[in-house]
Amino acid sequence: MKSQRGLRLAAAAVAGALLLAGCGSGGGTAAAPAPAPAGGKVDLTYWGWDPNMEKVVAKWNDAHPDIHVTLTNPAGGDQLVSKMITAHQAGNGPDIAKVEYQSLPSLVSNGVVADITDATKDTVGKFDDATLRPVRFEGKVYGVPQDVAPLMLFYRQDLFQQYGIAVPKTWDEYARAAATLHQKAPTVTMTNFDAADPGWFTGLAQQAGADWWSSTGSTWHVDINGAATKKVAAYWEGLVASGVVAKNPSFSPQWNKEMNDGTLATWISGAWAPAQLGGIAPSTQGRWAVAPLPAWTAGDPATGIWGGSATTVTSDSKHPAEAAQFASWLNTDADAVTEQVKQINIYPASTAGRSLPVLANAPAFFPNQPDFYEIVKQVAPGARSFSMWGPNVTVTFSGYTNAFGAALQDGTPFAAALDAMQDATLSDIKKLGFTVS
């Protein structure tokens, strides 16, 4: 609770930056001068959760004997953010940390991550403006983008072939395919509706055109229960009610078993999914394929995002220059990015990284789909996020798990769950002292 409160209070300070910068561009004040290298051997600590990242770090350590990086995995996602805030309050945070884009504003405002603008002057030129937007506030850079994660449709190619299911190109086709599949194989469901992790649903709302937060001057506008998101919620409520979609959470032992034994036929996930499938469903290598996310209107290339992260330098680092050097190397050096594609299956954030030769080969878990990364490359330009992330994302995400969890259990309308998220977010923003429209 202490860490969650820290995130919420931190949001107040970042609001001004978000309003001025629109979560990306803008003038702002002058950045802090780049710190001078420490000289002599340096030991850095790095917090992250990517499987096999130690193999990438080993390449750095082999090539940089005077700057040694030690990787640890204390938690992932929001849990890591909470640990970072707690560690910062105690003055013993890591030097480097992996941070999802939506979490970065709170960490900036709370002073947990450092301004690395001057240390990355050469680095930022290797990314396009859209990719840099989530790591820039008031013109200052607070992280080096690692990956982008367009939302994709992962499907069991063998099950689709077995039951004569065509890969759906629209959401109407997806619903019809789900019904056909469940009729032919009553023990198989198309996918699950996950009320425990808001990431996938947020991406679906983005695809539909939602913007949950926006601002005019110093006034915030919250539109979580707007028409675009309610359309998404109503669609999935119908699938749940018809029994063609399961109601259990993802990343649970039950879900892992169902992914592995063919009970679930698709997974709506980010482009990072190949890195996880080996641990989730180890018996299914070569049985999955990837396709663009179904569209609301045939031919519309829009998709959302789920995840995507930056490598940050923390304000607790005693060696910020070396930490920034590692962050830049990790995400722009051709060998480093190539190794991440091999070991972690990221889709690179750097512009040049998206044309690396390694992307001509499919992830190891997808030997049946040699054009895997070509499909992701085609989809990525259509990925959209929110125009800005709000000052209290953690409250909104907690509201999702509470409201949709209750809706699944009680059979109450999904629209009411969105209304509850809206009310919780608005109430919290007002408590933080903001003006809302």
Residues 29 and 56 in one domain: yes
pLDDT confidence of residue 155: 98
Number of compact structural domains in the chain: 2
Q: Is residue 337 part of a domain?
A: yes
Domain range spanning residue 334? 2-148+307-360
* Distance from C-alpha of 205 to C-alpha of 230, rounded to nearest angstrom: 9
Residues 144 and 163 in one domain: no
Residues 44 and 190 in one domain: no
Q: Is residue 380 part of a domain?
A: no
pLDDT confidence of residue 39: 62
- The CATH code of the domain that includes 339 is 3.40.190.10
- Residue 136's alpha-carbon distances to 206, 208, 419, in angstroms, are 21, 25, 31
Q: Three-class SS of residue 166? A: coil
The pTM score is 0.83
Q: Is residue 103 within 8 Å of 78, Cβ to Cβ?
A: yes
pLDDT confidence of residue 390: 83
* Distance from C-alpha of 51 to C-alpha of 276, rounded to nearest angstrom: 8
Residues 60 and 202 in one domain: no
pLDDT confidence of residue 214: 87
Query: Residue 260 corresponds to which tokens in the numbers above?
Result: 């592995």
pLDDT confidence of residue 22: 39
Residues 290 and 266 in one domain: yes
Q: Is residue 62 part of a domain?
A: yes
Q: Three-class SS of residue 163? A: coil
Run of H or E residues at 175:
helix 171-184
Q: Is residue 115 part of a domain?
A: yes
* Distance from C-alpha of 42 to C-alpha of 314, rounded to nearest angstrom: 16
pLDDT confidence of residue 35: 57
pLDDT confidence of residue 432: 84
Residues 128 and 156 in one domain: no
- Please identify every stretch of the chain with a pLDDT value under 50, giving residue numbers as ranges: 1-34
Q: Is residue 31 within 8 Å of 115, Cβ to Cβ?
A: yes
pLDDT confidence of residue 38: 57
Q: What's phi and psi for 268, nearest 5 deg?
A: -85, 115
